[in-house]
C-alpha cells in the first residue's frame, strides 16, 4: 500500500475509533469508567498532536515542539512495574514513557483480567501528565505469553526451527500477539534472531538454529506479531515486535577459565561462562552469520523495535583484545542499524544494559555513571530499560545534556522514534486496554495450533526396526522425570524468569498426551523407572533438562541460588546421571525402547549396548504435550529436522555446519521421516537410508549438513548434488 494511502487508512480507522468511544461515553454517562472518557474539550480546539486526522509526522513534530527536556527524557525511560507498583504516581512524576514486566513480574493475582486492570492503572497515571502522553507497556512473550497463568505456551524457538515451517512460525506469532494484546500489552520483546553457534550457551533454545539462513526464514515471527501494522496501522490484536539481541549474542566464546573458577566459588560469586560474553570475529563473518537474519525483519517485515545484545564484539581486523559492548557500539547501532540498514523504529536497551559499559574512570563500578549514560545515548539507544534506577538515569542524562555532552539532536531523534510508534499503535486514541478479548488467552484454537507445532517440531534421530510409530493398543511402560512435568517441558521464561519444575501451568504433559492419544493402551508409569515393567514389551523413557534461562543455563556457569531445587542441577551437554540410569535400566528390561529428550539443546545419551531403538529430540514443547504423543502413535508423521548439530561428545562443541572436522552423532538437517513418501524430501530420505545401511561415504555428515544449508539458502540444485553423493556412496 502506498504511504499516502496507508496514512489515509490509518487516520480513518483511528477517527472511527475515537467516535465510537465518544458514542459509548454518551450512552453510559456517569457510569462509564474513567478510562472510557474521551479527551476533554472540542477536538477542533485540541493540540495538533491529539488530532488523529493529522499525519504521524506532523503529530510527532507538534508534540516534540511542546515538550520540555525533562519530558523528553521521561519518554526515553522504561521502569519495571514492581518499582512503581507501590506508588503508581511515579509514572506521572517521572513522566515515564514505558513500563515492563520482567520474567515473573506479575500482578498479585496472575489472571488475564488482573493484567488488564494493572496496565490500565499505570496508564491512568501517564495520562495525568501535562501532555497526556500514553505509556507503552512491554513484556518478554518469547514462546507465547509465558508470564501469564493460563496462556498458551508454544515450543521454544529451537523447536520451531526444527519444523522448517516459516508460515507456522508466523501463525504462532499471530496467536501470541492476540494473547498479549488481550491482557492490555502492546509490545513484545520478541523474536530472538540470534544464531546459536555453541550449545553451551544458556540461551540456545531461544535461537531458531545455527544457520543464519534458517533463522532468517523464521523472521516471519515478526510478521505474525505485527501483522500489517507498520504499513496500515496496528489493529487491536497486533503488537510491536522486537528483533533481538543485536547482534552476535549467539557467537560469544566460551570462557574456560571462568568455568574452572566457578567450581570453587559460592553461587553468588560465580559468573556466566558464555552468555553476555565476547564475539571474536571478522567483520565479514559477523555480517554473514549474525547480521543476516535481521535483514528480513528490518526490510520485509518492518520490525518496530530492536534490542542490543549484552555481549561485546571484538574485530579480528584491528587485533583481538579490545572488545566493545554492543550497548556502546555506535558504529553498529547508528552507523549500521540506523544508517546502512535504514532502521526507522527505536532501539530499546536490554535490562540495565548500559550498566555493563566499562567506565574508564571507574572500571569496577557496576552501577550507573554519567559516562555510561552518555555513551549509551550517543551510541544510538533510544529507550533505556532501567528497571529500578529510572530516576537516577533521568537525572544523569539531564545533566549530560545540559553540559553539552549529549546533543539535543540525539534526544530529539530518540523521542521522535518512540513517539512515532506510539502514534502508529493508536495509543493516543485508545490508551486503555479493553477486557473484551480475555477469552483469547489460552483459547482452544491457540492450544490446537501449539499441539500441531509440537508434532512438527519432533526430530526422529534413530528408528531401528521401525520402533515408531507405536501401536495404540500396546502394553506400554512410561518412565523418566520429564514424562509428567509441565514445568520441565515448558522450560525457562515460563511464569518466572528461570522457569520452574512441576505443574506450574495448565496444559498436557507428555504422559497425559499418551493417555489421551492411546486411551486403549495399558500404561504403567514410573518417574524413576523403579516400578516393575510387568507385561510391557515397549517403553517410552522421557528424560532431559530442568528449566533455566540466560546465564544460569550456561554450561559451567553459575548455580541459580534462589531457584527451586530442580533448577540447581549442573548444566551439561550430557544426560544427567540419574536420567542415564533410568534409560539404562528400563531399556534393558523391554524389547523395544523409545527415548525422548526434552531439552533446550542436544543431550548426549550413552548407549554402548545399542538398547535404544528410537531416539527423539523433543526440545521444549510447552503446554501441549499431546503433540509429542501424536507422532509417537502415528497420528501425525515425524517431519522435523535438526536446527543445530547434535554432537557425538561434549568435547566436539562448538560444532557447526561447515566445520573442517565435522563428525557429529547427527548432522544439521538430519531427521528421519514416518508416514509415507514426500517427493520434496526424497533425496534426503535416500541419503539418510544410505547412512543407516552403512553404504554412505565417510564424509556423509558434512554432505547432509551442507545440503540442508544450501537448500535453505535457495540452492536446491547444489543440495541435490550433495545428497546424491551420500546416496551413491
**Enzyme catalytic residues:** 350, 550
Closest CA to 95 of 118, 77, 81: 77
Which uninterrupted H or E stretch holds 283?
Answer: helix 283-286
Gyration radius from the chain CA atoms? 26
The whole-angstrom distance between residue 522's C-alpha and the CA centroid of its chain comes to 38
The span from the CA of 461 to the CA of 640, in Å, is 10
CA distance 259 to 725: 41
- Chain position carrying cell 508434532: 455
Q: Calculate the alpha carbon distances from 223 to 228, 238, 242, 302, 499 in Å.
A: 7, 10, 11, 8, 27
DSSP-assigned letter for residue 155: P
- Give the separation between CA 699 and CA 716, rounded to whole angstroms: 20
C-alpha dihedral, 507 to 511 to 513 to 516, nearest 10°: -120
Half-sphere exposure of 444 (CA within 13 A, CB side): 0
Largest CA distance in the chain: 83
Q: Left, alpha or beta for 647 (phi > 0: left; psi -120 to 50: alpha)?
A: beta
How far, in Å, CA of 251 to CA of 256, rounded?
A: 15
C-alpha 627/C-alpha 622 separation (Å) is 10
Alpha-carbon dihedral angle through residues 660, 666, 668, 674, given to the nearest 10 degrees: 150
- Among residues 539, 540, 570, 577, the alpha carbon closest in space to that of 553 is found at 570
Residue 557 CA to residue 498 CA, distance in Å, equals 14
Residues 500 and 187: their CA atoms lie apart, in Å, by 25
Backbone angles phi, psi at 633, to 5 degrees: -105, 10
SS3 content of the chain, % helix, strand, coil (to 5): 45, 10, 45
CA atoms within 13 A on the CB side of 154: 36
- Which residue in the block uniquely carries the three cell numbers 562443541? 653
Question: Which cell numbers in the block locate residue 451?
Answer: 499441539
Instruction: Match 536446491 to its residue by C-alpha cell.
Output: 716
Distance CA 295, CA 302 (A): 10
- CB proximity list for 36: less than 8 A, separation 6 or greater: 21, 24, 25, 28, 432
Phi, psi of 164 (to 5 degrees): 55, 35
Helices 370-379, 390-402: axis angle to 10 degrees equals 80
User: What CA–CA distance (Å, rounded) separates 604 from 664?
Assistant: 11
What phi, psi does 143 have (nearest 5°)?
A: -150, 60
Cα angle 296-298-300, degrees, rounded to a multiple of 5: 50
The CA distance from 368 to 387, in Å, is: 12
Which residues, in sequence order, are bridge partners of residue 525?
478
Taking the C-alpha atoms of residue 377 and residue 434, their distance in angstroms, rounded to an integer, is 35
SS3 377: helix
For 432-435, which contacts have Cβ atoms below 8 Å and span 24 or more sequence positions?
432/35, 432/36, 432/120, 432/123, 432/124, 433/116, 433/119, 433/120, 433/123, 433/181, 433/183, 433/184, 433/185, 434/116, 434/236, 435/113, 435/116
DSSP conformation class of 146 = T
Within 8 A by CB and 6+ apart from 293, the residues are: 193, 195, 212, 215, 216, 219
Amino acid at each position: 500500500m502506498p504511504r499516502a494511502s496507508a496514512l489515509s487508512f490509518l487516520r480513518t480507522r483511528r477517527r472511527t475509533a475515537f467516535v465510537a468511544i465518544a458514542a459509548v461515553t454518551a450512552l453510559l454517562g456517569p457510569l462509564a469508567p474513567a478510562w472510557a472518557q474521551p479527551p476533554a474539550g472540542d477536538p477542533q480546539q485540541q493540540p495538533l498532536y491529539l488530532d488523529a486526522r493529522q499525519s504521524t509526522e506532523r503529530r510527532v513534530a507538534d508534540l516534540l515542539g511542546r515538550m520540555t527536556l525533562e519530558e523528553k527524557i521521561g519518554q526515553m525511560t522504561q521502569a519495571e512495574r514492581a518499582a512503581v507498583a507501590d506508588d503508581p504516581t511515579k509514572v506521572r512524576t517521572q513522566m515515564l514513557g514505558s513500563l515492563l514486566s520482567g520474567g515473573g513480574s506479575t500482578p498479585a493475582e496472575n489472571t488475564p483480567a488482573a493484567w488488564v486492570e494493572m496496565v490500565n492503572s499505570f496508564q491512568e497515571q501517564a495520562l495525568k501528565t501535562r501532555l497526556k502522553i500514553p505509556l507503552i507497556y512491554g513484556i518478554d512473550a518469547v514462546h507465547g505469553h509465558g508470564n501469564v497463568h493460563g496462556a498458551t505456551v508454544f515450543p521454544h524457538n529451537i523447536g520451531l526451527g526444527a519444523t522448517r515451517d516459516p508460515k507456522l512460525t508466523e501463525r504462532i506469532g499471530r496467536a501470541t500477539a492476540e494473547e498479549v494484546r488481550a491482557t492490555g500489552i502492546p509490545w513484545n520483546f520478541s523474536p530472538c534472531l540470534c544464531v546459536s553457534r555453541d550449545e553451551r550457551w544458556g540461551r540456545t533454545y531461544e535461537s531458531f538454529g545455527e544457520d543464519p539462513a534458517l533463522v532468517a526464514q523464521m523472521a516471519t515471527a515478526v510478521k505474525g506479531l505485527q501483522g500489517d501494522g507498520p504499513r496500515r496501522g496496528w489493529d487491536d490484536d497486533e503488537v510491536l515486535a522486537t528483533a533481538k539481541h543485536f547482534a552476535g549474542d549467539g557467537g560469544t566464546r566460551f570462557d574456560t577459565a571462568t568455568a574452572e573458577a566457578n567450581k570453587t566459588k559460592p553461587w553468588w560469586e560465580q559468573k556466566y561462562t558464555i552468555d553476555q560474553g565476547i564475539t571474536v570475529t571478522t567483520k565479514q563473518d559477523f555480517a554473514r552469520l549474525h547480521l543476516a537474519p535481521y535483514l528480513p525483519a528490518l526490510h520485509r517485515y518492518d520490525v518496530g523495535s530492536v534490542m542490543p545484545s549484552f555481549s561485546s564484539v571484538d574485530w579480528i581486523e584491528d587485533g583481538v583484545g579490545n572488545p566493545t559492548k554492543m550497548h556502546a557500539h555506535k558504529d553498529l547501532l547508528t552507523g549500521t542499524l540506523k544508517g546502512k540498514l535504514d532502521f526507522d523504529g527505536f532501539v530499546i536497551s536490554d535490562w540495565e544494559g548500559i550498566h555493563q559499559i566499562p567506565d574508564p574512570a571507574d572500571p569496577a563500578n557496576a552501577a550507573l555513571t554519567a559516562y555510561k549514560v552518555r555513551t549509551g545515548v550517543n551510541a544510538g539507544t533510544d529507550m533505556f530499560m532501567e528497571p529500578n534506577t529510572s530516576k537516577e538515569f533521568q537525572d544523569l542524562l539531564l545533566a549530560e545534556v545540559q553540559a553539552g555532552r549529549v546533543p539535543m539532536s540525539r534526544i530529539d531523534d530518540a523521542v521522535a522514534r518512540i513517539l512515532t510508534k506510539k502514534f502508529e499503535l493508536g495509543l493516543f486514541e485508545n490508551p486503555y486496554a479493553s477486557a473484551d478479548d480475555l477469552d483469547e488467552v489460552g483459547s482452544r484454537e491457540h492450544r490446537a495450533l501449539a499441539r500441531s507445532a509440537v508434532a512438527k517440531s519432533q526430530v526422529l534421530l534413530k528408528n531401528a526396526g521401525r520402533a515408531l510409530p507405536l501401536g495404540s493398543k500396546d502394553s506400554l511402560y512410561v518412565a523418566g522425570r520429564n514424562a509428567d512435568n509441565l514445568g520441565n517441558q515448558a522450560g525457562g521464561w515460563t511464569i518466572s524468569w528461570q522457569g520452574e519444575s512441576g505443574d506450574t501451568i495448565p496444559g498436557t504433559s507428555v504422559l497425559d498426551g499418551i493417555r489421551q492419544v492411546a486411551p486403549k493402551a495399558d500404561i504403567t508409569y514410573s518417574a524413576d523407572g523403579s516400578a516393575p515393567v510387568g507385561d510391557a514389551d515397549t517403553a517410552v523413557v522421557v528424560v532431559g533438562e530442568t528449566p533455566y534461562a540466560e546465564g544460569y543455563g550456561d554450561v559451567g556457569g553459575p548455580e541459580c541460588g534462589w531457584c527451586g531445587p530442580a533448577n540447581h542441577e549442573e548444566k551439561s551437554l550430557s544426560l544427567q546421571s540419574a536420567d542415564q540410569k533410568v534409560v539404562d535400566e528400563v531399556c534393558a528390561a523391554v524389547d523395544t525402547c523409545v527415548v525422548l529428550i526434552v531439552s533446550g539443546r542436544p543431550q548426549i545419551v550413552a548407549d554402548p549396548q545399542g538398547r535404544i531403538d528410537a531416539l527423539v529430540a523433543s526440545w521444549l514443547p510447552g503446554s501441549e504435550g499431546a503433540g509429542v504423543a501424536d507422532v509417537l502413535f502415528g497420528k501425525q508423521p515425524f517431519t522435523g529436522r535438526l536446527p543445530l548439530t547434535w554432537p557425538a561428545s561434549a568435547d566436539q562443541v562448538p560444532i557447526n555446519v561447515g566445520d573442517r572436522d565435522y563428525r557429529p552423532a547427527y548432522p544439521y538437517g538430519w531427521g528421519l521421516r514416518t508416514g509415507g513418501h514426500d517427493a520434496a524430501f526424497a533425496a534426503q530420505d535416500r541419503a539418510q537410508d544410505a547412512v543407516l545401511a552403512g553404504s554412505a561415504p565417510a564424509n556423509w555428515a558434512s554432505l547432509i549438513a551442507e545440503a540442508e544449508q544450501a537448500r535453505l539458502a535457495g540452492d536446491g540444485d547444489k543440495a541435490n548434488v550433495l545428497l546424491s553423493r551420500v546416496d551413491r556412496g
